[in-house]
Structure 1
Amino acid sequence: MSSLTALLEKAFALSEVNQRKIGCLVGAAIADAASRPLHWVYDLSQLDKALASSPETPEFWPESVSPFYSLPTGENSCYFDQAYAVMTSLKNKKEYDFKDICSEFEKQLGPGSRYDMKAREEYMQLRREGRVQGPIKGKWLHGGMIKFFDNMKAGKQFGDSQIKETDGFCCALPVVVKYAGDSGLMDKVLQVTKTQSTWPVAVSHALVASKIVEAFIQNEADVFGSVKEAIKLDFPEIYKELEMIESIHSTPHVQAVGYVFGRPCYNPGSFMGAIHAVQTSTGFEDAVRKTIKAGGCNCSRSFFIGAMLGAKVGIKGLPVSWIERTTYAEDVLKNAIEMI
């Protein structure tokens, strides 16, 4: 018996709620890894050309097509790596320790880690000059985490009001998993989210995304319906967004992302695109595949999709072949079991 198989069997023996918690984290990891080779391809003609040999199975594409950075197939983007740092802290400390979470960010994504800021800075300078010659080889650190490190040096612990991406939610996901159902959950989510961004739209969408994942973990019968009603007064704009998503279920997903929600990493588009994929798909694989083919920042949307559907189906419902193709799935699974 392989070590991965042994870990899966250990997870299968847990309570149903803990299986959903494990499924949530592993689902986010494998969905992100499945999308990574085609991350940030905004030119759909380029994306379609790259997928021409097998357009129905874009997951774990054998070669990296991302114009920004190149990694071996099976590795995760920064979206999941940030979540993994928080998982590590929760596992090691056995409790929520904000200072330790910040320390873990530095250990896993800061100087001396696989995140080479020099290569990224050189790429961005060439891009500004119109002289880009190809993607960097290695990890790509996101703007929210760069600002976090700058703030830490300055003695601050909050993100930047100009950061519009979904990184705050991604960082907070393990906190949602561990403390789902606890009255103090959203205070913790808010604190972790603000390490990356204080932009009100990014923060509000992180909170609502966390409520959605929490509802899936708690196995609510009508997750989107119940969350929509629960946020109506506090987050009226997001309530309208959820209504809008339901109104365009008949719009093909690639079209919905391209012409309605947008392909970039920003909210509300990333949030809405992920939910549209979940609500219009037959299952986990279908939702991630259509998200990959919609282009742009598919990793951030896939992360959220994997978290939602992983929590819905639990670890037993995830595709084992995808788990096997995710480079660090065994570490994620082991840490998730120890963390909860």
Structure 2
Amino acid sequence: MKTGNGISTADRALGALMGAFIGDALALGPHWYYDLDELRARYGPWISDYTAPMPGHYHAGMQAGQSSQAGLLLRLTLESLAVCGGYDEADFCHRMDEDFFPLIDGMPMHGPGGYTSQSIREAWRKRVQQGLPWGQVGGNADNTEAAERTLAIAVRYALDPAALAAAVTRNTVLTQTDGTVVAMTVAFGAVLGMLIEGHALDAEISAKLMARVKAGALPFHTVTTGHLQAPRAGEAEAPAAGRFPSPDALLTPSSIARAAHDPDIRIEPAWKVSLVYGMPCAVYHQFPAAYYLAARFAGDFESAVLHAVNGGGQNMARAMLAGALVGAQVGIDGIPARFIDGLQEKDALLALCGRVAGQAAGQAAGA
């Protein structure tokens, strides 16, 4: 199935998944430098390719082009999707129990990928040390950890918004239970799904998302009509109140896209988006920056991910999320070959991502 600009669903899906892996690996070396002078002193004025972490810093000892733990968890999620043909929570949890949790010990600077995020550490403690069942191990960490793996689920169900929202929600709450974090994570997945469909990341995307809320496909609360106009007297909420108390997470992308395209609003150079929206790890810093870069560089994968990386701070999440959004817009052929070639285990990643991209394309064809 061909989508906008003649790019097929499968190519957009593959571009999104590989874009996420590329963004993750590009930021491995320069990850978490909040002092931008130190970042420039160590890596030069502009980071343009894969780099190795410095001794004594995050991910020390790893090689350029490798995946961080975020990339490894994305891969685990993709493997589950590929084998099961879709989201199977029991299979995902089994893989976490058997293949991943034995490799970590609850300490930050340990485990595959060189660092274990707060939400995963909390889930490990509750699951392994306290013996709690899945469904009771999620915590209130406000990072983008769940979004980094559930983007695979969003790709798989890109053309079925209701299934996308349900599966992303279920997987997210396994490790993160804060209502705002869950809502913003599901909204990110819904946006990614729309881009794979061929929609633009522009001022109209939020209205399209709100139409899906009204149709019952996205579980957000809303009472307004049209373009956030007053509800009609006596009209019930349509179709229901929804799981999430506000649709604001769905409204953010259009506002940011409008700013990115407004000639009177300029962030120059674009990497300074990290200073505008914030350099830390929380979802309310990371999603807006990723939306901005993906809207501004909708057809330029290289510029989007490199500005994400060069902004410092939690540049890994920023580059991973922006890489998925722009990869979905340009498709796999729009990603420079050097970024794919520089990824370690690129052939295995291409094959795995291709399987899930094929599932999304099969869904588009009615399979």
Deviation at 1:17, TM superposition (A): 0.8
Residue of structure 2 aligned with 1:96, choices 63, 87, 95: 87
**1:43: Cα distance to partner?**
0.9
Q: Any unmatched runs of 5+ in structure 1?
A: 1-14, 122-135
Q: Say yes or no: does 1:239 pair with 2:251.
A: yes
Verify the 8 A CA contact 1:273 1:301 in the aligned structure 2: yes
| Residue of 343, 346, 358 corresponding to 1:326 | 343
Q: Which aligned runs of 4 or more in structure 1 are off by greater than 6 angstroms? A: none
In structure 2, do the counterparts of structure 1 residues 94 and 289 end up closer, same or farther at CA, with 3 Å as the change threshold? same
Say if 2:187 is the partner of 1:208: yes
Amino acid at match of 2:248: P
Partner Cα separation in structure 2 for residue 24 and residue 167 of structure 1:
17
Does 1:48 find its partner at 2:40?
yes
1:274-285, aligned counterparts within 5 Å? Answer: 274-281=290-297, 283-285=300-302
Q: Which amino acid aligns with 2:82?
A: K
Deviation of the 1:293 alpha carbon: 1.2
Does 2:64 match 1:73? yes
1:20–1:312 CA contact under 8 A, matched in 2: yes
2:238 match = none
Higher mean C-alpha deviation, range 203-212 or range 222-231: 222-231
SS of the residue corresponding to residue 38 of structure 1 reads coil
Give the alignment of 1:1-340 within 5 angstroms.
16-52=8-44, 55-64=45-54, 67-70=57-60, 71-111=62-102, 113=103, 115=104, 117=106, 120=109, 139-152=114-127, 153-158=131-136, 160-182=138-160, 183-220=162-199, 222-231=200-209, 233=222, 234-236=246-248, 239-240=251-252, 242-243=254-255, 246-247=258-259, 249-252=265-268, 253-258=270-275, 260-281=276-297, 283-339=300-356, 340=359
User: CA contact under 8 A between 2:278 and 2:285: conserved in structure 1?
Assistant: yes
TM superposition shift of 1:118: 5.5
Q: Secondary structure at the match of 2:283?
A: coil
Distance change in 2, residues 1:155/1:19 (3 Å)? same
Superposed CA offset, 1:78-103 (max 9, x none): 22211111101111122321011112
Which piece of structure 1 moves more, 70-79 or 15-24? 15-24
CA–CA distance in structure 2, aligned partners of residues 110 and 304 of structure 1? 24
Range 227-236 or range 34-43, more displaced? 227-236
1:193 is displaced (CA, Å) by 1.0
TM-score by length of 1: 0.82
Q: Which residue of 2 aligns with 1:133?
A: none
Question: How many pairs are equivalent?
Answer: 306
Residue 27 of structure 1, CA deviation: 1.0
Q: What letter corresponds to residue 207 of structure 1 in structure 2?
A: V
Normalized per residue, the structure richer in helix is: 1
CA 1:142 to 1:273, structure 2 compared with 1: closer, same or farther past 3 Å? same
- On the 8 A contact 2:9/2:197 being kept in 1, the answer is yes
Amino acid at match of 1:20: R
Amino acid across the alignment from 1:167:
E
Task: State the distance in 1 between where 2:41 and 2:333 align.
Answer: 35
Structure 2 CA distance for partners of 1:22 and 1:241, relative to 1, 3 Å: closer
Q: What secondary structure sits across from 2:176 in the alignment? A: coil
Deviation at 1:40, TM superposition (A): 0.9
Shift of 1:306: 1.1
Using a 3 Å threshold, how does the CA distance of structure 1 residues 69 and 94 change in structure 2: closer, same or farther?
same
Distance 2:32 2:65 in 1: 16
Note closer, same or farther for the CA distance 1:244–1:219 as it changes in structure 2 (3 Å cut). closer
Indicate the larger mover: 244-253 or 186-195.
Answer: 244-253
Q: Distance in 2 between matches of 1:199 and 1:23?
A: 30
In 2, the alpha carbon distance for the partners of 1:297 and 1:66 equals 17
Note closer, same or farther for the CA distance 1:185–1:138 as it changes in structure 2 (3 Å cut). closer
| Structure 1 residue 189: Cα displacement | 0.6
Percentage of matched positions with identical amino acids: 21
SS in structure 2 of the partner of residue 212 of structure 1:
helix
